[in-house]
Amino acid sequence: MDSTDNANCSEFTELGAAFSSPGGNPEKADPLVRRQAAVLAFGRRTNAQPSLSVLMQDAVALVAEILHADFSAIGEVVDDGAALLLKATAEQSGSPDPPTHKCPLEAADSMAAFALNSARPVVSADLTTEERFKDLFLRKLGARSAITVPLHVGGKAFGTLGVYATEKEAFVSEDVGFAETIAYLLSSSIARIKTENELKKQRTFSSTVLDIVDALVVAVDVAGNLLSINRACQQTTQFSVAEVRGKPFWNVFVVPKELELVRGIFRSAKTDNGSCEFESLLLTKDGTPRRICWSLKVMRDSHERPQSFVMTGIDRTEQVATEEELRKARTVAERATKALEEFRAKAGETERQARGSEPAGRLQTGEDNKMPRPFQPLGDAKGKETRTSQRRAYQYRQMIAPTVGGVIPAKDNFFPIECKDISAGGVSFLLDRSPDFKDLVVALGRAPTLTYFTARVARVARVEEGGRTRYLVGCRFTGRIDI
């Protein structure tokens, strides 16, 4: 206890006596009035919010003064509820360090432990003849008569207040009632202090967590006014908390064209028990719009009335821009692929017209097929590259079907294969067994927009993959067909 606490303690313990007597003499004051003044003084003391240890010392000192006790002690439950530590006032030992006594909470040789276990005040007129417990520690300090009041906080044992007389004293029920009243006030104050400390820890923890997450977090009251924004939101928007606190969310962050949309979402959320998700533009301090995907949750009180909104947002600005670039690139690639396929089809048709085509429903599959081929065969069995067009990785599952007698296979005859690479001239894929066919149709793409190519096996190589033998099949494209 520092000097300030000592001064406050002395001031409050003398307040009851000075208030109760015109002459300021506590011995001449009416006992009932004096105790009422003491209760008032302690109530004021709790409102000053001293530290917990100081408040307990003040409480037991007040009880000792009003009941004319010779000394007092505070008991505190320690070791996670397994033991009780009793600390007597220092003047009883003649030493600056107060005498202490630690015992199990279930001990039968401690008046404080007995009071905690019985959950009611305990009075002993003579500790030397006491049969309910044998408190040798108090007797060693010179205590003869005693009152001990238990303290329970949140339904759990917290500690005790004890006052002692060195001579045999007959404490009456009014004395016990006063001590119990102070104990109740102290327990309530302890509960409040512990709750406030716990809330402070939770807020500190929540604030720390919110500041380290990458998501934007915004707290808004039921009227739509901003309460707080986390660090990620501050970095994204370049606003500080002080700059936005108390201002309407839509006036600070929402673009004008989405104003009514966002307000409507807030109104609807008040009656919705779940969270809602929406996407909107968020204006930064310099007016730059950011595309944010929000999740909005309503925080309600015990009566299910909305108290505030908590919004978490993911910045999708770069992702949206990337998706748009990919869409444009995909469109260009699809157009180029379509143009190439049309060119190959026209080239094949021109060659067939010049040399004569096969009967309808059959394919040109022999070595005598001399049509100009823009596709080149795969390398030899040793893996030497002989294709003139650049190959690229193409590790996708596609479909193939062998052709028998040059007849176009039905769609039901296609089965999946694992492709390895592809080029303008052909494709390679893996099979679990060596192919027993030479000609095939390859279906590339994704249903329902599949493109069908005729092909001929040009190379088969045995490979070891994942501890099993498989066959890498390279084939060259020979044309394009419609099925």
Residues 441, 329 share a domain: no
Q: What confidence category does residue 87 fall into, taking pLDDT thresholds of 50, 70 and 90?
A: very high
Which of the residue ranges 104-118, 157-171, 289-303, 324-338 would you say has the lowest mean pLDDT? 324-338
The residue out of 197, 232, 256 marking a domain boundary is: 197
pLDDT at 125: 93
Q: Is residue 340 part of a domain?
A: yes
pLDDT at 197: 79
217, 250, 253, 257, 270 from 266: Cα distances, Å: 16, 10, 14, 16, 7
Residues 333, 224 share a domain: no
In this structure, are residues 476 and 375 in contact, taking their beta carbons and an 8 Å threshold? Answer: yes
Give 423-478 pLDDT, tens digit per residue.
888 899 999 999 999 999 999 988 778 889 999 999 999 999 878 999 999 999 99
Percent of the chain surpassing pLDDT 90 = 45
pLDDT at 398: 93
Residues 266, 129 share a domain: no
Residues 152, 78 share a domain: yes
Residue 20 has pLDDT above 90, yes or no: no
Count of domains observed in the chain: 4
Residues 168, 72 share a domain: yes
Q: Is residue 44 part of a domain?
A: yes
Residue holding tokens 């009243």?
181
Q: Is residue 399 part of a domain?
A: yes
| CATH number of 444's domain | 2.40.10.220
pLDDT at 371: 40
Give 96-126 pLDDT, tens digit per residue.
678 899 999 887 889 999 999 999 999 999 9
Hey, which residues does 300 pair with through a beta bridge? 306
Residues 458, 419 share a domain: yes
Mean pLDDT of 410-417: 92
Q: Is residue 364 part of a domain?
A: no
Mean pLDDT of 264-268: 89
Residues 324, 311 share a domain: no
Give 157-177 pLDDT, tens digit per residue.
999 999 999 999 888 999 999
Give 29-83 pLDDT, tens digit per residue.
677 888 888 888 888 888 877 888 889 999 999 999 999 999 999 999 999 888 9
How far apart CA 76 and CA 331 sit, in angstroms, is 76
Residues 16, 112 share a domain: yes
Range(s) of the domain holding residue 218:
213-315
Q: Is residue 350 part of a domain?
A: yes
Residues 471, 348 share a domain: no
Q: Is residue 377 part of a domain?
A: no
Residues 353, 290 share a domain: no
Most distant pair of Cα atoms in the chain: their distance: 135
pLDDT at 374: 38
Encode 401-429: b = buried (16+ Cβ within 10 Å), e = exposed.
bbbeeeebbeeeebeebebbbbbbbbbbb
In this structure, are residues 74 and 86 in contact, taking their beta carbons and an 8 Å threshold? Answer: yes
Residues 146, 224 share a domain: no
| CATH number of 97's domain | 3.30.450.40
Mean pLDDT of 299-314: 87
Q: Is residue 384 part of a domain?
A: no
Residue 141 has pLDDT above 60, yes or no: yes
Which of the residue ranges 48-52, 93-97, 261-265, 326-330 would you say has the lowest mean pLDDT? 93-97
Note every long-range contact of 66-70, with CB atoms under 8 Å and residues 24 or more positions apart, other chains counting: 66/16, 66/34, 66/35, 66/38, 66/178, 67/147, 67/163, 67/171, 67/175, 67/178, 67/179, 68/165, 69/147, 69/163, 69/164, 69/165, 70/142, 70/143, 70/164, 70/165, 70/166
How far apart CA 443 and CA 414 sit, in angstroms, is 8
Residues 13, 155 share a domain: yes
How far apart CA 144 and CA 128 sit, in angstroms, is 7
Q: What confidence category does residue 380 fall into, taking pLDDT thresholds of 50, 70 and 90?
A: very low
Hey, which residues does 422 pair with through a beta bridge? 392, 427
Q: Which residue has the higher pLDDT, 202 or 65?
A: 65
The residue out of 357, 381, 414 marking a domain boundary is: 357
Q: What confidence category does residue 389 fall into, taking pLDDT thresholds of 50, 70 and 90?
A: low
- How much is the mean pLDDT over the chain? 82
Give 175-195 pLDDT, tens digit per residue.
999 999 999 999 998 888 888
Read off the DSSP letter of residue 414: -
Residue holding tokens 């494209």?
477
| CATH number of 242's domain | 3.30.450.20
Mean pLDDT of 183-211: 78
pLDDT at 283: 93
Q: Is residue 440 part of a domain?
A: yes
Q: In what side-by-side order are the strands of the sheet with 100-104?
A: 100-104, 83-88, 71-78, 156-165, 145-153, 122-124
pLDDT at 27: 54
Reported pTM: 0.47
Write out the DSSP string of 196-237.
HHHHHHHHHHHHHHHHHSSSEEEEEETTSBEEEE-HHHHHHH
Residue 406 has pLDDT above 50, yes or no: yes
The residue out of 357, 379, 407 marking a domain boundary is: 357
